[in-house]
Amino acid sequence: MYDPRLRTEHDVTDISDINKAVELLRGQVFRTPAIPSPGLSRLTGADVYLKLENQQVTGSFKVRGSYVRMAALSDAERKAGVVAASAGNHAQGVGYHAERLGVPATIYMPANTPFTKVARTEALGAKVILEGETVAESRVIAMQAAEADGKVFIHPYDDPLVIAGQGTATVEFLEDVPDLETIIVPIGGGGLAAGCCIAAAAHKSTLEVVGAQADAYPSMAQVFRGEKPHGKGATIADGIAVKEPGVLTTPILKAHMKDIAVVMEADIERAVQIMVDVQRLIVEGSGAVPLAVLLESPERFKGRRVGLMVSGGNIDSRLLSSVLMRGLVRDGRLARLRISLTDTPGSLGAVTGIIGIKGGNIVDVLHQRMFRDVPVKEAEVDIAIETIDADHIREIMDALEAEGFGTRLLSDTSLN
């Protein structure tokens, strides 16, 4: 079985390992842009910069660590092939390089993995085996298979070379924005965060690294508090849904990281939406967790030069779509009203007129006089309206009521 402690042939990862990884990765992965964000700076009061690992090959930072690990394989190991367990970004990271290095790759995924994720990894040339209920179970199976078949298991985070590879993202970030005062980095198993800590400490001792976790999987924060780590349930930040932090990563984080902020599901969802609205960037849940932390406690970061590690952009199109639409409702920018009309000519016109005068933009009208269970002389109409905010919705509803049109809000917003 894979034992991370056996992978410590050169002790813990240090900055020289990361610098070697920088050289090794040249031309193998993208050197992603780091950009200032005046919009997010305005919103939060911090001076915000973004490291765009959502622009990385395969849409996440994972290709960095997987390449550094796989480049270290011996000829015999390359021939035998590699094994990994992941339904997400790590699978793609390993799959991408396996294909390019000509190394056969077998990726274990949980049995219930959505078809699109399987297909995306297979498209990279990897063999996918669906086994286990959870990623953790798949991982155990994968480790056993690797040992039985004499293949190398590529760990997603608990490997010195993987940590070194992930650290290169922070080295680049600091090359581009050397005077960052804080970096907020997502933590799942802790590979990206451990690399970030080492690179940040080597850059400047006063540079603060803040970890960011989702409330559903606060495992590293729990370990920091001396509690037994756990985590459960579905989260939009599936990239960092890790129940047990790494054996190698945890001490690195403990040595360098002052604290770990934990954010709620709704905050993460809102951060994904704000990245779209304000920054016009597509970011996956785990990649938006640092922004969620910043939005959650702006006073803590006010006036500081803050770098957000935008770790990935692989979000499912349906999930993204529902985040966007829920965002509209949440902000009071979209409302669906059910309005009672007397079924006389012109009453619908009067209703739309009132909404128009009040500045609501009607996007959809559903008028089902024939089929709805309402008295024959009355009718109901459902109208979807673009609005400015919750107050604006209230204003429109009051105006309709004042003219005798009973009005009910169908979409549940912060009005309640």
Angle between helices 89-101 and 115-123 (to 10 degrees): 20
Q: Tell whether residue 232 is a contact of other proteins (CB under 8 A).
A: no
Give the CA distances from residue 139 to residues 2, 91, 201, 276, in Å, rounded to whole numbers and listed in that order: 10, 12, 32, 34
Distance in Å, CB of 141 to other proteins, minimum: 28
Angle at 172 between CA 185 and CA 164, to 5 degrees: 70
Question: Cα separation of 410 and 404, whole Å?
Answer: 19
Q: Tell whether residue 191 is a contact of other proteins (CB under 8 A).
A: no
Token representation of residue 203: 């850059």
Query: Looking at 17, 24, 46, 58, which residue binds other proteins (CB under 8 A)?
Result: 58
Which residue carries 């849940």 as its tokens? 285
Dihedral (C-alpha) 393, 398, 401, 405: value to the nearest 10 degrees?
-30
Query: Looking at 54, 89, 219, 411, which residue binds other proteins (CB under 8 A)?
Result: 54
Alpha helix (H) ranges present in 57-151?
Answer: 62-71, 75-80, 89-101, 115-123, 135-149
Token representation of residue 256: 């360098």
Q: Tell whether residue 176 is a contact of other proteins (CB under 8 A).
A: no
Which residue carries 């709620």 as its tokens? 264
Report how many residues bind other proteins under the rule CB under 8 A.
37
Distance in Å, CB of 20 to other proteins, minimum: 24
Token representation of residue 93: 């990271």
**Sheet (strand 82-85) strand order:** 127-130, 105-109, 82-85, 152-153
Q: Tell whether residue 366 is a contact of other proteins (CB under 8 A).
A: no
Question: CA end-to-end span of the chain, whole Å?
Answer: 54
Q: Tell whether residue 353 is a contact of other proteins (CB under 8 A).
A: no
Question: Cα separation of 115 and 180, whole Å?
Answer: 41
Site for other proteins in 130-169 (CB under 8 A): none
Q: Tell whether residue 282 is a contact of other proteins (CB under 8 A).
A: yes
Pick the closer one to other proteins by CB: 54 or 413: 54
Q: What are the strands, taking DSSP E only, across 104-207? A: 105-109, 127-130, 152-153, 182-186
Q: Tell whether residue 4 is a contact of other proteins (CB under 8 A).
A: no
Centre a 10 Å sphere on the Cβ of residue 128 and count the other Cβ atoms it contains. 19
Query: Looking at 318, 345, 402, 416, which residue binds other proteins (CB under 8 A)?
Result: 318
Q: Tell whether residue 89 is a contact of other proteins (CB under 8 A).
A: no
> Cβ(198)–Cβ(165) under 8 Å?
no
Q: Tell whether residue 285 is a contact of other proteins (CB under 8 A).
A: no
Distance in Å, CB of 390 to other proteins, minimum: 14
Token representation of residue 398: 């009051």
Query: Looking at 140, 276, 350, 399, which residue binds other proteins (CB under 8 A)?
Result: 276
Q: Tell whether residue 35 is a contact of other proteins (CB under 8 A).
A: yes
Distance in Å, CB of 27 to other proteins, minimum: 10
Distance in Å, CB of 368 to other proteins, minimum: 22
Taking residues 94 to 133 in sequence order and writing x for each that binds other proteins by CB under 8 A, - otherwise, the string is: --x---------------------------x---------
Token representation of residue 88: 């997400």
Stretch near other proteins under the rule CB under 8 A, chosen from 54-62, 71-79, 192-200, 243-251 = 54-62
Query: Looking at 44, 89, 279, 411, which residue binds other proteins (CB under 8 A)?
Result: 279
Pick the closer one to other proteins by CB: 33 or 346: 33
Stretch near other proteins under the rule CB under 8 A, chosen from 189-197, 211-219, 241-249, 326-334 = 326-334
Q: Tell whether residue 186 is a contact of other proteins (CB under 8 A).
A: no
Q: List interacting residues with other proteins (CB under 8 A).
A: 33, 35-36, 38, 52, 54-55, 57-59, 96, 124, 273, 276-277, 279-283, 313, 317-318, 320-321, 324-325, 327-328, 333-334, 359, 361, 363, 386-388
